[in-house]
Amino acid sequence: MVEVLEKQNELSKSLKSEAKRQGFNPVGIAKLPGSERIQMRTSALQRWLSAEYHGNMKWMEAPRRQNVESLLEGAKSILAVGLNYYVDINRAPGSLSIARYAWGVDYHKILEKRLKRIGLWLQKQRPNCRWKICVDTAPLLEKAWAEEAGLGWIGKNANLINLKTGSWMVLGYLLCTEPLTADKPSTPSCGQCQACIDACPTQAITEPFVVDARRCLAYHTIENRQKELPNAIKSSIGSWVAGCDICQEVCPWNHKSIPSSKDQDIVPKQWILQLTKDQVLSWNDKEWKNKLQGSALKRIKPWMWRRNALATQGQINTKNK
């Protein structure tokens, strides 16, 4: 029995080292079915759905989201990884705002490609092991499992926060049938702070840890398929045309010495840092298609970009028109 545990510990340590070689940090392991905290997070999801805080995101209702074992038969462990997307650079003065997670290459592709390499590595070590990649398109309680694996805690703005790297990270998972050694779950460290709650211009954070997507700028600029944005969103949108980082920008954990990513896949596209209202409104659909190639921003259709831009506070340059 001791020998079995030693081999399990060794494999777990090596797996996390492989994940770090792929550029992930932090990394951690959780064991299925998880602790009581997972049950608590699952109950919280049910309450959130019952309150219809998910708006039109009907995929959040998938029953499989509340039963991780249904994603991979015989799954015993989850490798959770974080990818830092913070780059110490600012957009051009007067340009429109785009959430930092989408400044570089589509993070779904980055995560899937690198997690596949890790899965193949694991398969070489344990030929009978089966595994499955999950990113945020999969019906998985992703932040809850990241918290369970020790990557960070879920903050009052519902983002995952790490002590060293803050909240500027996207998450990925490798489910596997191999028994691995679990890491200690993270301890919440928001304390009495409610900077994110106070800063939200639409009061979308209705109470600590609860976000009503129907009031959220990110939801409306990315997910809302209506021709017109609600008046409450228009009056609060500021310069945000794709997503919103306000609750992360004010978080004290993001004001520390956050590492700036050197990952080439994270390097911002110049047009994203310099986007103007005139450009958004003048580019035709073909130009938008070219700009959005390989970007997570493809989810926002050209007509939505124009709709969002018209609601921003930036002025349209009417000279030479």
Nearest to 229 by CA among 156, 291, 311, 286: 311
Specify whether the CB–CB gap between 256 and 162 falls below 8 A. Answer: no
Average pLDDT value for residue range 12-36? 96
Instruction: Tell me the pLDDT tens digit for each residue of 232-278.
Output: 999 999 999 999 999 999 999 999 888 999 999 999 999 999 999 99
Residue pointed to by tokens 């344990």:
126
Per-residue confidence (pLDDT) for residue 193, from 0 to 100: 97
Single pTM value for the model? 0.93
Tokens of 38: 């997972």
Per-residue confidence (pLDDT) for residue 239, from 0 to 100: 97
Percent of the chain residues topping a pLDDT of 90 = 88
302 half-sphere exposure, CB direction, 13 A CA radius = 14
**Please, which pLDDT band fits residue 321 given cuts at 50, 70 and 90?**
very low
Q: Is pLDDT at 320 greater than 50 in this prediction? A: no
Percent of the chain residues topping a pLDDT of 70 = 98
Positions annotated as catalytic residues are: 136
Per-residue confidence (pLDDT) for residue 316, from 0 to 100: 53
**Please, which pLDDT band fits residue 319 given cuts at 50, 70 and 90?**
very low
What rounded mean pLDDT belongs to the chain? 94
d(CA 64, CA 71): 7
Specify whether the CB–CB gap between 111 and 137 falls below 8 A. Answer: no
Helix (H/G/I), strand (E/B), else coil: 31: strand
Q: Is pLDDT at 318 greater than 50 in this prediction? A: no
Q: Specify whether the backbone of 150 is left (phi greater than 0), alpha (psi in -120 to 50) or beta.
A: left
Per-residue confidence (pLDDT) for residue 72, from 0 to 100: 95
Nearest to 241 by CA among 98, 91, 94: 98
Instruction: Tell me the pLDDT tens digit for each residue of 195-204.
Output: 999 999 999 9
Specify whether the CB–CB gap between 75 and 175 falls below 8 A. Answer: yes
Per-residue confidence (pLDDT) for residue 317, from 0 to 100: 53
The string over 169-188, giving b where at least 16 C-beta atoms fall within 10 Å of a residue's C-beta and e elsewhere, is bbbbbbbbbbbbbbbebbee
Instruction: Tell me the pLDDT tens digit for each residue of 105-163.
Output: 999 999 999 999 999 999 999 999 999 999 998 889 999 999 999 999 999 999 999 99
Q: Is pLDDT at 27 greater than 70 in this prediction? A: yes
Q: How far is CA 317 from CA 149, 205, 232, 257, 280, in A?
A: 50, 35, 25, 38, 12
**Please, which pLDDT band fits residue 212 given cuts at 50, 70 and 90?**
very high
